[in-house]
Amino acid sequence: MKNKFKKNISDISLFFVAIVWGGGFVIIKDTLSTVTPMLLIALRFIIASIVMYLIFYKKIGKISKRDMKKGSVVGIVLYLAFATQTYGLQFTTASKQGFLTAVYVAIVPFLYWIIYRKRPKIKVFVGSFLTIIGIGLISLHGGLDINIGDSLTLICALFFAMHIISVEYFAKDMDVYKLAFIQIAVAAIFSTVSAILTEPITLELTNRAWYSIMFLAVFSTFGCFTVQTIAQKYTSSSHASILMSLESVFAAVFGILLLNEVMTPLMIFGSALIFVAILIIELDLKEFNKNKLMIRFNNKDIN
């Protein structure tokens, strides 16, 4: 019962992560008009790592070489995911990239199968497939021609899937606060180096840009990745990928509320498909049928 409670709390936490990331989509879209992509990534990871250490330095404690090696693997994968996504966005549309990035939902079960030699339940694959269709209906407007930007985005989707799997793998035998801090700090280091090598660096930004960066750093990066790391200690990577993919739904909602975007019938249908996919993944139909039979049996006894 205790483990089930922790799992439920973890799933709820990941749901709120999706809400924050969905809202972050609108903020990033606005901020990129005044801040270069790699500098934006570097600043959000630098600030996030500083904030996390100041708040959780006692829990983080002393970091061993073993901790550093494991956390660095996750951090490098996280950096590669953001780097390929950012560079890919220069050559493709945001809506198309949103769909292609979400392919990680379908990749996660297969990576899980390869690493753990354990085939996920059929309902996981069904849920992943429905989620991909749903995200496509929400995000895809126009053709699906593959160019260099699309190719980089598909690679980014693979890295995001690897990140989810790696967090689950290392969180089982490593302190989650250390893992969360190291991955963010390592991503900050690699992002900073990339920004210095590829972009003109300036910190003379508008107040609006700094407010956006602080939100992305504190909530979208520090908050969300810390919650994700802790939550994945108690829930599966497949559950995590499905729940976090809800960011596409909330991105559409916030786009309507804040950017005056239009919610088309296809987008509404896509949102409904994603919620159906979550129900398929999350509900234990065997347990439901068992409880239903027990209720009927008890009713017969009463009558």
pLDDT tens column, 272-295: 887 787 777 666 555 544 544 444
- Confidence band, pLDDT 50/70/90 cuts, at residue 53: very high
- The share of the chain scoring above pLDDT 70, in percent, equals 83
pLDDT for res 293: 46
Can you give the residue ranges of every domain in the chain? Answer: 2-302
The 3-class secondary structure across the chain, one letter per residue, is CHHHHHHHHHHHHHHHHHHHHHHHHHHHHHHCCCCCHHHHHHHHHHHHHHHHHHHHHHHHCCCCHHHHHHHHHHHHHHHHHHHHHHHHCCCCCHHHHHHHHCCHHHHHHHHHHHHHCCCCCHHHHHHHHHHHHHHHHHHCCCCCCCCHHHHHHHHHHHHHHHHHHHHHHHHCCCCHHHHHHHHHHHHHHHHHHHHHHHCCCCCCCCHHHHHHHHHHHHHHHHHHHHHHHHHCCCCCHHHHHHHHCCHHHHHHHHHHHHHCCCCCHHHHHHHHHHHHHHHHHHCCHHHHHHHHHHHHHHHHHHC
Residue 103 φ then ψ, to 5°: -60, -15
Query: Lowest mean pLDDT: which of 67-81, 207-221, 234-248?
Result: 234-248
Mean pLDDT of the chain: 80
pTM, whole model, 2 decimals?
0.77
Per-residue pLDDT, averaged over 171-193, amounts to: 91
Per-residue pLDDT, averaged over 194-198, amounts to: 91
Per-residue pLDDT, averaged over 123-137, amounts to: 81
pLDDT tens column, 26-42: 787 778 788 888 999 99
